[in-house]
Structure 1
Amino acid sequence: MKNLGGLKYFLGIEVTRSKQDIVLSQRKYVLDLLTEVGMLDYKPANTPAVQNLKLGNYPDQTLTNKEGYQKLVGKRIYLSHTRPDIAYVVSMVSQFMHSPSEAHMEALDRILRYLKGSPGRGIQFRKYGHLKISGYTDVDWAGNVTDRKSMAGNFTFVGGNLVTWRSKKQNVVALSSAEAEICGMSKGLCELLWLRKLMT
């Protein structure tokens, strides 16, 4: 074995260190992906999805290449390891891997156009002088137009730094926004309790 020095690049993740912080990003991975799909010259988008995006499966939808779609979604899922800002929309498009349509492909393209505008953005870890654990949750009640299930998201901080994030469709149909929020909060609370146990 030989010492290669400080970690700078590993499995598509770039690591930048300074005295104040450590930043994880996937800039090269994003640029390679844009080149691969021929979108390097496209105009960047300001957001990862259009406002109030509702995707579903419809009888009259125009289907697209299933294998190509699955491959592209997989690459977006890998990108969300350092880009929590795309977690929600990536979770949304990954629900339609079995029968993707042109509308789903447009949503995928929008994510890439958003990434083009900020390819070097990532996660920053900094010393804040404490190890407080905090978390946030939110739910898009009955957001899925096909089965009316809610999409829940949560993220947690340890010592002021983002350490976990998740966006996932709930298992059951919530009969009210309050029920959906309580289910979402219970998942977020489980994450907080697990982190607290891990830290102690």
Structure 2
Amino acid sequence: MQEELTALEQNHTWTITTLPPNKKAIGCKWVYKIKRNADGTIDRFKTRLVAKGYTQMEGIDYFDTFSPVHLKQLDVNNAFLHGDLYEEVYMQLPPGVTATGPNQACLLHKSLYGLKQASRQWYDKLSSFLLSQDFTQTSGDHSLFTKHNGDNITIMIVYVDDIILSGNDINDINHITNMLNDRFKIKNLGNLSYFLGFEVARSSEGIHLSQRKYALDLLNETGMLNVAPVSTPMNFSTKVCSQGDPVDDPAAFRRLIGRLIYLTNTRPDITYAVHRLSQHVASPTKLHHQAAFRIMCYIKQTPGQGIFLKAINTLTLKAYSDSDWAGCPDSHKSTTGYIVYLGDSPIFWKSKKQSIVSHSSSEDEYRALA
């Protein structure tokens, strides 16, 4: 805790002053977290002072809040504290800081963790710095930056304070790493192995991406570690419709479907089944719960299954699509499924209900292609 307070003071995060009579100081608290590795072992213990941003008033305490959330991984130390705070925000003195006078508060100068605008301010600070270093921000994804140096290219992905750095020249990578460390103080986590629940295994053949720990944690949290596994994610003789008895806990069903949707980032094999159930999160029935249970049983059999990005020189773009004509028993609309390959590697896939009813299987297939 003292180490965190020292870092906050060295970064000039606040000035202790008398609270003006027309101002309200937001609260703060200490948050403790254990950060784990992909295998579940403890990486480190973290202590962080956070502001109670949920008490802020839009238009007074903050304005904009949106932040776009060789293979190396970097972590920025105290990332949010680098973001400058332009609004006048006062915070109560945190535990561990002694008041030297009556009615004192912290006038914040930096975007402390917990403030609604903290993520946005940090993103603005980092992106401005990268652009000043000749990086280009991609129009399709503002968290993706690229830099060209002759025949060399460096690619950077930013998610809050976590950074993935990739490129074809180790000297460029080292230069950028040192540059970021000089400006922001970073922790070099070495070769990429675990990122946002994704496990990365690299070999001379290519890169394997999976969410094994995420899947096992999901099975454990739902009490399904000991269920009997099945070989398919869905019984396709079952018609998933809106009719049926409601589940006892709709919120739990919605949370489960949300977790499964995230798992489809590396599991195209469950995408269709999860998509069908996601259409019924507003009013889930016991039939939907049974179908979700089957998906979990399938995951139990294949928790480490993922995608393999093959290391090849032929990068032909290929796409495949299919559909089920009038597959929805409620609306008689069809569901389109497609997958895109770069070379032999799947890079994008989706299952989506068509917006209008097709009157023939031919029309259905054409809509799938479109």
Does the 8 Å CA contact 1:140/1:150 hold for their aligned counterparts?
yes
1:1-200 paired onto structure 2 within 5 Å: 1-58=186-243, 61-64=244-247, 65-186=249-370
Question: Who wins on radius of gyration, i.e. which is larger?
Answer: 2
Q: In structure 2, what residue type is equivalent to 1:30?
A: A
State the partner residue of 1:195.
none
Q: Partners in 2 of 1:180 and 1:52 — Cα distance?
A: 21
Q: Partners in 2 of 1:134 and 1:80 — Cα distance?
A: 20
Instruction: Tell me by how many angstroms 1:51 deviates.
Output: 2.6
Q: In structure 2, what residue type is equivalent to 1:85?
A: D
Q: Partners in 2 of 1:82 and 1:43 — Cα distance?
A: 23
Does the 8 Å CA contact 1:128/1:159 hold for their aligned counterparts?
yes
Instruction: Tell me by how many angstroms 1:52 deviates.
Output: 2.7
Instruction: Tell me by how many angstroms 1:57 deviates.
Output: 1.2
Instruction: Tell me by how many angstroms 1:37 deviates.
Output: 0.8
Identity in percent: 43
Does the 8 Å CA contact 1:55/1:145 hold for their aligned counterparts?
yes
State the partner residue of 1:192.
none
SS at match of 1:5: strand
Does the 8 Å CA contact 2:204/2:311 hold for their aligned counterparts?
no
State TM-score, norm by structure 2: 0.49
Structure number with the higher strand fraction is 2
- Structure 1: gaps spanning 5 or more residues: 187-200
Q: Partners in 1 of 2:278 and 2:236 — Cα distance?
A: 18
Q: Partners in 2 of 1:43 and 1:175 — Cα distance?
A: 41
**Is the deviation greater in 100-109 or in 48-57?**
48-57
- Structure 2: gaps spanning 5 or more residues: 1-185
Q: In structure 2, what residue type is equivalent to 1:62?
A: D
Instruction: Tell me by how many angstroms 1:129 deviates.
Output: 2.0
RMSD (CA atoms):
0.8
Instruction: Tell me by how many angstroms 1:12 deviates.
Output: 0.9
> Which contiguous aligned blocks of 4+ residues in structure 1 show a shift greater than 6 angstroms?
none
Instruction: Tell me by how many angstroms 1:53 deviates.
Output: 2.8
Instruction: Tell me by how many angstroms 1:119 deviates.
Output: 0.5
State TM-score, norm by structure 1: 0.90
Q: Partners in 2 of 1:51 and 1:63 — Cα distance?
A: 21
Structure number with the higher helix fraction is 1
Q: Partners in 1 of 2:327 and 2:271 — Cα distance?
A: 16
Q: In structure 2, what residue type is equivalent to 1:48?
A: P
Instruction: Tell me by how many angstroms 1:110 deviates.
Output: 0.4
